[in-house]
Amino acid sequence: MINQKSIAVLPFVNISNNIENEYFCDGLTEEIINALAKIKDLSVTSRTSSFYFKNKTVTAKEIREKLKVVTFIEGSVRASKKKMRITVQMIDTIDDFHFWSETFDRNPENVFEIQDEISLFIAEKLREHIGHLEIEDKLIAPIDVPVAIYREYLKGRYYIMKLDYKNSLKGINILQKLIKKVPNFPNPYLDINLAYVQLGTMGLLPAFEAYEKAQPYLLKALELDPNSSRSQLNLAWIECWQNWDLKKAYEHAHKALEIQQADDIYLTISNFLTVEGKLDAAHNYLDKALQLDPYTAINHHYKGFLYYLQEEYTTAIPYLKKALDLEPKLPFPPIYIGISLLMSGKPNEALTYFGSLKGVSVKDLTKLGGETMCYAKLNETEKCNEGLKELETYLTTALVDKAFTFLILVNALLGNNEKVIDLVEQAYNNRLPLLLLLNPSPILKPVKHHKRFKDIMLKAIPDNLNYKQKKKYKQALLDADEIKKYSKELEQIMTDYKLYLNPDLSLKDLASYLELPANYVSQLLNQGFDKNFSEYVNTFRLNEFKGRILLEENKGLTIMAVAYDSGFNSKTVFNTFFKKIEGMTPNAFIKSTLKN
């Protein structure tokens, strides 16, 4: 079912003679996407999926079917030195008609005003067409740099977003020169950091080298602008993968989500839940990422990876293959396609698959590691030992993470449990991030409850759910002691993770955090709190609202803007629930509180 409040912004078409105007067209599209994503209750297709349709002729029906939206924007830009004409059209994908179009003739020097003006126009017309949306007075804050500098920034980002080695380095070079001119402009630092992280993630640079190069730029960006959603998201990654502090990681990720809904933020939270072993909850967040960005390869890969972790190998493979269809050079899917074949009882097919890999997969040890795993499973001892020896030679190189991963997995398949734990201990001592995703690995099940292994893992992530035996639920529901126990646990989860800030939170989401069936959680809420699900969650949202509405920083916001920031997703629900609990309207509450 398609969300009725959903929109995609297709890349604006450059109809100028100057090819350099392409940078502005892409930048304008991105800014409008980011601006609309700030509107509560509006589902906005992310950049990657929108740009999948760049330079393609598509129908309204195709957009509706492929992006699952009821409206989309298309436009064009013609620019000269003194004049810019931007044409925008809004199309209904259900009935296939253009219900609004506008032409903006503006001075190119007023680029920030243009972006905000167009975003607000779109938001207003969308509200007229699909129903109520709470829209702020400004959606795009002006950037304090000259327009010429901003255009040069867009040029650098244009090349970085092409996602290949040559163009990424070209974009990095442009932005490095820009930083020398305007050292206090945070955007170039964030994008250079992004470029290096992408190069490392895709295997186009050794990961260690790429992340090492990326870090100074991220630190400078955080110094200049710590409160943007991008900065908060990067901080979340650092807290998880470098500092191994999941509580802080969640805090930063949820702050990023409060600022702007984006698929990579949902993907990040899914990553963190995976580390904790909360795979059902990880699926829920990943589905939200896929909904916003169905054409991002990494989202499809991660869906397949989650199914792999749950030992649903035949379900995993199509998602992993879809990821490669979208991004053939993505280095992760081949690993898990091969391992899924291996673990589903097809070692010879897996061996053939790993043997056929070329390019990036050879460079990042996937071919060598995968074949060695297959030899272990096929009891081809001599070939397996040769592979192990070759993998060990990479332990002192930039490929140390991948070498450790395959050495651990091969030894697990051989049943060398003590060797596995020795390697895991070395990975822990070297603070290798791979350790965190070994937690839920199905291949490591034989050592999961070994005391040494548990001690290492619990030092990394305390109270990890991977080490709790799967509960066998009795036919009867929870008894009084269990209700007391789980009530306390649920309150802690709601406080730590602020789940109520997610407007789409469901009973199933809560159940996945508690690792209980939904029926049990429904009973828990009813008997432990004397509330149904909506009443329980909205109580947290109400308290959040009461705290936020009096903050100085929120004085310029409407009541409903703060309500939406607090997790409510309906004006009617908010007003009705507020009056039921407080005995007065929100306006009366505010006046009464201010008097006191």
What does the pLDDT look like over 56-96, one tens digit per residue?
A: 888 999 999 999 899 999 999 988 777 888 999 999 998 88
Q: Are residues 270 and 404 in the same domain?
A: yes
Query: Residue 17 above 80 pLDDT?
Result: no
pLDDT for position 38: 80
Q: Give the domain CATH number at 45.
A: 3.40.50.10610
pLDDT-derived band at 475, boundaries 50, 70, 90: very low
Q: Are residues 10 and 126 in the same domain?
A: yes
Distance separating alpha carbons of residues 13 and 22, to the nearest angstrom? 8
pLDDT for position 109: 76
pLDDT for position 382: 94
Q: Which of 225, 241, 265 is the last residue of a domain?
A: 225
Retrieve residue 211's tokens.
């992340």
Q: Are residues 433 and 308 in the same domain?
A: yes
Confirm whether 237 is domain-assigned.
no
pLDDT for position 229: 84
Q: Are residues 579 and 460 in the same domain?
A: no
Q: Are residues 273 and 371 in the same domain?
A: yes
Q: Are residues 315 and 461 in the same domain?
A: yes
Rounded to an integer, the average pLDDT of 455-459 is 85
Retrieve residue 338's tokens.
């091969």
Least confident piece of the model among 56-65, 334-343, 466-475: 466-475
Confirm whether 475 is domain-assigned.
no
Other CB atoms closer than 10 Å to residue 362's CB: what's the count?
12
pLDDT-derived band at 592, boundaries 50, 70, 90: confident
Q: Give the domain CATH number at 285.
A: 1.25.40.10
Local structure of 389: helix, strand or coil: helix
pLDDT for position 472: 45
Q: Give the domain CATH number at 577.
A: 1.10.10.60
In a 13 Å sphere around the CA of 175, the CA atoms on its Cβ side amount to 29
By residue range, what is the domain housing residue 548? 480-595
Q: Residues 542-566, buried b or exposed e (16+ Cβ, 10 A)?
A: bebbbebbeeeeeeebebbbbbbbb
Confirm whether 138 is domain-assigned.
no
pLDDT-derived band at 474, boundaries 50, 70, 90: very low
Q: Give the domain CATH number at 158.
A: 1.25.40
Rounded to an integer, the average pLDDT of 384-389 is 95
Q: Are residues 456 and 488 in the same domain?
A: no
SS3 track for 183-209: CCCHHHHHHHHHHHHHHHHCCCCCHHH
Q: Are residues 190 and 117 in the same domain?
A: no
Rounded to an integer, the average pLDDT of 369-397 is 93
Q: Residues 160-191, buried b or exposed e (16+ Cβ, 10 A)?
A: bbebeeeebbbbbebbeebbeebeebbbbbbb
pLDDT in tens, 32-45: 888 888 887 788 99
Q: Which of 209, 225, 241 is the last residue of a domain?
A: 225
Q: Are residues 318 and 444 in the same domain?
A: yes
Retrieve residue 25's tokens.
């067209």
Rounded to an integer, the average pLDDT of 566-571 is 87
Q: Are residues 320 and 370 in the same domain?
A: yes
Distance separating alpha carbons of residues 250 and 239, to the nearest angstrom? 9
Query: Residue 418 above 80 pLDDT?
Result: yes
Start-to-end Cα distance in the chain:
48
Q: Which of 444, 467, 490 is the last residue of a domain?
A: 467
Distance separating alpha carbons of residues 159 and 27, to the nearest angstrom? 12
Q: What is the mean pLDDT of the chain?
A: 85
pLDDT in tens, 94-150: 888 888 888 888 887 777 788 888 888 888 888 877 777 777 776 666 677 887 888
Q: Are residues 13 and 113 in the same domain?
A: yes
pLDDT in tens, 222-243: 888 887 888 888 788 878 887 8
Distance separating alpha carbons of residues 461 and 240, to the nearest angstrom? 10
Confirm whether 386 is domain-assigned.
yes
* CB neighbour class for 593 (10 Å; exposed up to 12, middle 13-18, buried from 19): exposed
Under DSSP, the state recorded for 239 is I
Confirm whether 1 is domain-assigned.
no
Distance separating alpha carbons of residues 80 and 106, to the nearest angstrom? 11
Domains in the chain, number: 4
Q: Are residues 491 and 522 in the same domain?
A: yes
Rounded to an integer, the average pLDDT of 558-564 is 88
Confirm whether 234 is domain-assigned.
no
Confirm whether 238 is domain-assigned.
no
Write down the residue that tokens 């432990």 correspond to. 528
Query: Residue 473 above 50 pLDDT?
Result: no
Confirm whether 348 is domain-assigned.
yes
